[in-house]
């Protein structure tokens, strides 16, 4: 999928610096403009989950304790992994202990990540495609919005781009050090959001099946990558086992699977409100845990019970659970995030429940209070994302026609994995980790279409 065009070294160095500056300027300007608009209203940087990151960060900084307890004794935090709170604590060590401080740093890192993605595209297909991909990521609505919330999603999306960069270097050089760095990056991603844990499976598959490489080299890369990834996450599992949580990264898997994913599936199957069902199931869990205190004495035991209940429901209604994952609206632009940051509309109004049960039009009408004209303001960004999806779809067709099976699996690993793994509940911000790969495939497809047109001419 690479281009053979060559440019002189002196011109390339000048262009690299100029393009980096342009992309960073565009990306930073857009992010910081929204940051400035929301700065007088700190609550706009926050979501319901924000406190579960903020308090552990403060406690890490002042008490070297990973806990969301507001005061001593600091009970070990079981629900979150330490990556994002540790990042926030580092920021708080230098800047004021406010949500805006972390968001500001995220904006700059996100802008720099756009430059890194430019570098990947340019190294493969030349300067024009590099600029196209870099500017697309800089203007991506989801990328902009994700960097403006005090949530792990923003940092995770940045790490995804770093992972793509490291994989690109490996594919260009086949040096083992890039597998080591990519695996360490995957470890950091997993410690930031546990959703990254299962990505080790696509990594193993891609390394073992990479075409054109001897079996011995592929096997060594696979084993070394797996060992480094495990070396990154095992210490935290041991820490949790030591403090009584259990040998696990966190206990979020249980409640996320049971009270989010399965609730969404059952709400769609029975046409009931997901919010009501979630509250009902939550109360039932509290009663069960209170009634059998000895059995559910540890966080891991409570997590395991929720996973078990989830699997029972999923086995009873497998088609309903699978159908709940077929959600094309998961790829809609993050328009609501922009409106919330600007104060035009607010969240937590049950829009997600309406979206799940009644569809996009009903949800948009509810969220906008009938003010459809607001979408006209977002048309350029909606058009950008729509064009990216159309070109990426064309790219998939071309890959299938040319039987580039490994490239197809690589694209799915870097894109659809992130959309599928979050389950039936999909907020607009969840799509962002998939967008860099989508932009890259869109650029490749555009390059192929342009070359085909020139050949015909």
pLDDT tens-digit map of 241-256? 998 888 999 988 888 8
Mean pLDDT of 408-422: 88
Alpha helices in 126-256 (DSSP H): 127-139, 141-146, 152-173, 176-192, 200-209, 215-242, 252-256
Contact 227, 118 (CB under 8 A): no
Contact 149, 45 (CB under 8 A): yes
Q: How confident is the model at residue 378 (pLDDT cuts 50, 70, 90)?
A: confident
**Interatomic CA distance for residues 417 and 196, integer angstroms:** 10
Mean pLDDT of 392-415: 95
pLDDT digits (tens, 9 = 90+) for 23-56: 999 999 999 999 999 999 999 999 888 999 999 9
Residue 435 host element (H or E): helix 435-456
Q: Residue 11: what pLDDT?
A: 64
Contact 202, 416 (CB under 8 A): no
pLDDT digits (tens, 9 = 90+) for 137-169: 999 988 999 999 999 999 999 999 999 999 999
**Interatomic CA distance for residues 455 and 214, integer angstroms:** 35
Q: Please give the residue that has the higher pLDDT: either 293 or 231.
A: 231
Contact 31, 147 (CB under 8 A): yes
Q: How confident is the model at residue 4 (pLDDT cuts 50, 70, 90)?
A: very low
Write down the pTM of the prediction.
0.91
> Residue 111 pLDDT more than 60?
yes
Q: Residue 1: what pLDDT?
A: 62
Mean pLDDT of 69-78: 82
């Amino acid at each position: 999928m690479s281009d053979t065009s060559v440019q002189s070294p002196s011109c390339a160095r000048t262009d690299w610096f100029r393009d980096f500056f342009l992309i960073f300027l565009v990306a930073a300007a857009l992010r910081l403009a929204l940051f400035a608009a929301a700065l007088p209203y700190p609550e706009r940087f926050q979501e319901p989950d924000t406190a579960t990151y903020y308090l552990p960060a403060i406690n890490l900084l002042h008490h070297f304790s990973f806990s969301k307890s507001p005061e001593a004794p600091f009970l070990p935090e079981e629900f979150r992994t330490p990556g994002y709170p540790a990042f926030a604590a580092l920021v708080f060590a230098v800047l004021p202990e406010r949500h805006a401080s972390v968001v500001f740093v995220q904006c700059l890192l996100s802008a720099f990540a756009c430059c890194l993605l430019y570098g990947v595209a340019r190294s493969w297909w030349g300067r024009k495609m590099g600029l196209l991909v870099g500017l697309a990521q800089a203007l991506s609505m989801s990328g902009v919005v994700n960097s403006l919330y005090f949530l792990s999603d923003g940092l995770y999306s940045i790490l995804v781009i770093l992972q793509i960069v490291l994989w690109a270097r490996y594919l260009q050089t086949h040096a083992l050090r890039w597998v080591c760095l990519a695996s360490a990056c995957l470890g950091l991603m997993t410690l930031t959001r546990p959703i990254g844990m299962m990505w080790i499976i696509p990594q193993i598959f891609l390394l073992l099946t990479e075409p054109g490489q001897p079996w011995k080299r592929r096997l060594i890369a696979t084993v070394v990558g797996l060992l480094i990834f495990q070396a990154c996450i095992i210490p935290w599992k041991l820490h949790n086992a030591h403090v009584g949580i259990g040998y696990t990264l966190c206990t979020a898997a249980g409640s996320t699977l049971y009270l989010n994913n399965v609730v969404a599936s059952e709400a769609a199957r029975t046409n009931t409100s997901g919010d009501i069902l979630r509250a009902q199931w939550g109360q039932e869990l509290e009663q069960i845990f209170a009634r059998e205190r000895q059995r559910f004495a540890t966080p891991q035991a409570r997590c395991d019970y929720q996973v078990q209940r989830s699997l029972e429901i999923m086995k009873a209604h497998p088609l309903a659970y699978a159908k709940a994952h077929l959600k094309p609206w998961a790829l809609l632009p993050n328009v609501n995030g922009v409106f919330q940051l600007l104060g035009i509309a607010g969240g937590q109004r049950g829009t997600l429940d309406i979206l799940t049960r009644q569809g996009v039009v009903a949800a948009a009408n509810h969220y906008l209070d009938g003010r459809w004209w607001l979408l006209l303001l977002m048309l350029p960004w909606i058009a950008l994302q729509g064009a990216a999806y159309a070109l990426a779809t064309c790219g998939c067709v071309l890959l299938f026609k040319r039987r580039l099976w490994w490239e197809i699996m690589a694209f799915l690993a870097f894109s659809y994995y992130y959309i599928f793994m979050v389950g039936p509940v999909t907020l607009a911000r969840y799509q962002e980790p998939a967008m860099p790969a989508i932009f890259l495939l869109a650029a490749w497809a555009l390059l192929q279409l342009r070359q085909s047109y020139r050949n015909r001419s």
